[in-house]
Amino acid sequence: MQVIIAFLDGSKDQIAAFQEFAKENKPEHAEVSDIVFEEYEGYVISIADYMHLIQVEQLSKGIPAILSIDKKQDKMLEKLNETRVEIVGEIRELRRDLKS
């Protein structure tokens, strides 16, 4: 069994319109046994505030990942520089050998 709970905030007309819409527009192939609407007196977060919470959550996950990539990138650049120095050294050696 699955349950969907939605908290709505709006005018009486908006809530009534949503209730009507929910009753008349069930998802295709869904087996809906009941739709219940109850009054709720608690706080309902605004969509803008909810969006900001989600953004903060995503940033809190993303920033450590970016910092980790930055550290790895520094190591990769150091390795590339070392490899470049080695290749340049080998090319110089080959040139010397060819001139001899």
pLDDT in tens, 39-68: 888 888 888 999 999 999 998 988 888 888
Dihedral angle sign, alpha carbons of residues 39, 45, 47, 51? negative
Residue 57 pLDDT = 93
Residue 98 pLDDT = 87
- Cβ contact 26:32 at 8 Å: yes
Q: CA–CA separation, 73 vs 19, rounded Å?
A: 53
pTM score over 0.75: no
Q: CA–CA separation, 44 vs 7, rounded Å?
A: 6
